[in-house]
Amino acid sequence: MRSRALPGRGQGQSPSLSSACGASHQESQNVERLQNKVAVITGGCSGIGLATTELFLAEGASVLVADVQDDRGAELEARFQGRVKFRHCDVTSEADIAGAMQAAVDHFSGLDLLFNNAGAGGSPLMLEEMTGEAWDRTQSLLLRSVALGMRYAIPHMRARGGGAIVNTASIAGLQAGFARIAYSVAKAGVIHLTKTAAAELARYNIRVNAICPGYILTSIFTASTGISGAAADGANAALRQIAPHAQPIHAAGSPEHIARACLYLICPEAEFVTGTHLVVDGGMTIGPRSSWDPEAPSAIRDVLVKARASSTPAV
Ligand SMILES: NC(=O)c1ccc[n+]([C@@H]2O[C@H](COP(=O)([O-])OP(=O)(O)OC[C@H]3O[C@@H](n4cnc5c(N)ncnc54)[C@H](O)[C@@H]3O)[C@@H](O)[C@H]2O)c1
């Protein structure tokens, strides 16, 4: 299977950058970037995790998919025989996480790459209604799971002489207003966890980075709000319609956009990148909507336009 070129690796790339990445442009077109690598992908049965599983496979990796969707896991194993192993793993369970990392080693003889990605919307409660139980459940799903995923991957990666980890955060971890409070705080935690883990793990030749997706069309929105059946179909159709207009780049954010960013961070071309977070949001966090959409209301701009129109020109 031949790999696809990474976006941005065009004809004009300088030879010095090519050699700094460890491969010439010609070589990078022909070599599978993850050849002989073993990856664990949590939440690999759907959305971002599924797109990343498919891309890692296309780039030569073997993938252990750790998820709670057993039917979809079985379908993946049948579709990619011998290259995908499914392991039932609820990432809120420490034993399940440890078991998934061990299963990758048992099945594929080692572990090189980890994409800590499983997640859902978390508690919908506002702070004034929050309970300790709801808070803990969200942090366990979205933050503790990432810490423990890394913790149980470390010994196996050290045994291979190093590795690379990508954690899924969110733009909700960077700015208020994109999600509810428990989810947003967990994702902010993932960004800082990534930095501190990168500092600890550099000595073992393990790189750790995070991705902050913007608005990506997956089932997370309806699944997390408990909407199902025809109502979910209707909501998903409406979400698809607004997606291209939600950010400065007028295209719907797709799981493949995030998979390609994850591939970059995890592959050897990013050998000098650790402890950072990559925002992949079509520009959604550049500034308020009025900064990129001339049709969007801006109270300050309206006041100034009116004032300029009525002011006496300076002599
Ligand atoms: N879609 C977006 O707009 C968006 C934006 C920012 C961040 N994210 C993050 O991306 C990640 C993937 O979400 P997605 O949008 O692909 O959603 P998705 O619903 O399509 O996929 C989530 C996957 O995680 C699995 N999962 C859920 N709970 C689990 C658990 N306890 N244990 C193991 N697996 C579990 C699900 O079965 C599913 O396969 C999540 O961490 C989410 O917070 C998504």
E-strand spans in 84-133?
84-88, 113-116
Average pLDDT over residues 268-283: 98
pLDDT at 44 over 70: yes
Q: Which of 220, 221, 236, 284 to mutate to test the pocket of ligand 1 (most atoms within 8 A of CB)?
A: 220
pLDDT at 299 over 70: yes
Cβ neighbors of 312 (< 8 A, separation 6 or more) are none
User: pLDDT tens, 142-179?
Assistant: 999 999 999 999 999 999 999 999 999 999 999 999 99
Q: Is the CB of 232 under 6 A from ligand 1?
A: no
| Distance separating alpha carbons of residues 306 and 301, to the nearest angstrom | 9
The CATH code for residues 15-287 is 3.40.50.720
Order of strands across the sheet with 206-213? 84-88, 62-67, 38-42, 113-116, 163-168, 206-213, 277-280
pLDDT at 25 over 70: no
Identify the three-state secondary structure at position 87: strand
| Rg over CA atoms, the chain | 21
Active site residue 152: no
29: Cα separation from own chain's centroid: 24
Cβ neighbors of 167 (< 8 A, separation 6 or more) are 116, 117, 146, 150, 190, 193, 194, 208, 209, 210, 211
Say if residues 210 and 166 touch (Cβ distance below 8 Å). Answer: yes
Q: Is the CB of 220 under 6 A from ligand 1?
A: yes
Average pLDDT over residues 209-218: 98
Residue boundaries of the structural domains of the chain: 15-287
Nearest CA to ligand 1 atom 7: 170
Amino acid at 264: Y
Q: Is the CB of 149 under 6 A from ligand 1?
A: no
Q: How far is the CA of 94 from the centre of ligand 1 (A)?
A: 18
E-strand spans in the chain?
38-42, 62-67, 84-88, 113-116, 163-168, 206-213, 277-280
Q: How far is CA 173 from CA 125, 143, 176, 285, in A?
A: 17, 11, 8, 11
Average pLDDT over residues 51-58: 98
Q: Which of 40, 46, 212, 258 to mutate to test the pocket of ligand 1 (most atoms within 8 A of CB)?
A: 46
Closest-lying ligand 1 atom to the alpha carbon of residue 92 = 31
What pLDDT is attached to residue 28?
Answer: 52
Q: How far is the CA of 307 from the centre of ligand 1 (A)?
A: 48
pLDDT at 1 over 90: no
| Distance separating alpha carbons of residues 201 and 274, to the nearest angstrom | 10
